[in-house]
Amino acid sequence: MDAYRRTLGISRRDRVRNEETRQRIGIDGSLATDIERQQLVWYGHVQRMDDTRLPKQIMQWTPQHQRERGRPKKTWKKGVTRAMSARNLNEGQWNDRKTWKLGIGQRRKIF
């Protein structure tokens, strides 16, 4: 937000809300959507890697033991699949980089 404020020439003393700053600069969404977008960028990057690469092997690894009793933990992979389903992205679509970037919303308006 600091960079956006400096671009617009607004200081914190002007007491302009973050939503208004984002609206003036032309950025949609919030921090959570930006995080989801970056997760999808990284997920597509790793999925395009060769199967012998360590990051891809680690992402495909599943532990052999069961979790302890209690509420199931939310995993990073389930968050990524939820973000993919919200954006109507399917498995294997990451191979076409142009449609993947358009699907995750990586291309922003230029201000």
Per-residue confidence (pLDDT) for residue 62, from 0 to 100: 82
For residue 67 the two structure tokens come to 């979790």
Per-residue confidence (pLDDT) for residue 42, from 0 to 100: 93
Q: Quick check: 11 pLDDT over 70?
A: yes
Length of the chain as a residue count: 111
47-104: per-residue pLDDT in tens? 999 999 999 999 888 888 888 888 888 888 899 999 999 989 998 888 988 888 888 8
Residue 108: pLDDT band (50, 70, 90) is low
Whole-structure pTM over 0.85, yes or no?
A: no
Instruction: Return the DSSP state at 58.
Output: H
* Residue pair 33/104 in contact by the 8 Å Cβ criterion: no
13-43: per-residue pLDDT in tens? 999 998 898 888 887 777 788 888 899 999 9
Per-residue confidence (pLDDT) for residue 111, from 0 to 100: 45
